[in-house]
Amino acid sequence: MATPLALLCLSSLLKIPGRTRREVALEITEININIRDEDKLKAFVNITFDDVFVIRGLKVIQGNSGLFVCMPSRKMPDGTYKDIAHPISNEFRQKMEALILSEYHRLVAEGTGVGAPE
């Protein structure tokens, strides 16, 4: 879906030496969801900001207490995983997750989405 979905504000996130922190507004302009028919992995997600920056490889996971969104990560030599990209504030994470899960539920209800089970 290539429609503007939300305007999220990041407060005090720019840490540029010699400059003051400022607020940056990012618009989520696209959420692409590839629905999977697996036990725990429910979807792969790509999210675009301002039609100029994309984060690929987010996942919708079925956990013990419901669905949640995992950020893209890389497996480290010691076997642990480290996020490649992630929200800095919990408020931004919650807003982004809510938008992604809302779009996921909409696609599941419609029976649509790339790779949707038939």
Asked if residue 59 belongs to a domain, the reply is yes
Residue 118's pLDDT is what? Answer: 40
Asked if residue 6 belongs to a domain, the reply is no
Asked if residue 11 belongs to a domain, the reply is no
The span from the CA of 21 to the CA of 29, in Å, is 25
Comparing 102 with 88, the larger pLDDT belongs to 102
Range from 22-31, 54-63, 65-74, 103-112 carrying the lowest mean pLDDT: 22-31
Sign of CA pseudo-dihedral 60, 63, 68, 72: negative
Residue 76's pLDDT is what? Answer: 95
Q: Would the pLDDT of 69 be above 90?
A: yes
What would the mean pLDDT of 27-51 be, rounded to a whole number? 93
Domain that holds residue 81: 30-110
Number of domains in the chain: 1
Residue 18's pLDDT is what? Answer: 63
CA nearest to 69, candidates 58, 77, 85, 54: 58
Asked if residue 22 belongs to a domain, the reply is no
Residue 115's pLDDT is what? Answer: 52
Asked if residue 116 belongs to a domain, the reply is no
Tell me how far the alpha carbon of residue 52 is from its chain's centroid.
15
CATH number at residue 70: 3.30.1120.40
Report pLDDT digits (tens) over 14-32: 555 666 666 667 788 999 9
Q: Would the pLDDT of 114 be above 80?
A: no
Q: What is the pTM of this model?
A: 0.75
Asked if residue 89 belongs to a domain, the reply is yes
Asked if residue 16 belongs to a domain, the reply is no
Asked if residue 24 belongs to a domain, the reply is no
> 11 pLDDT band (50/70/90 cuts)?
very low
Q: Where are the beta strands (DSSP E) in 11-92?
A: 24-35, 41-49, 53-63, 66-70, 73-75, 81-83
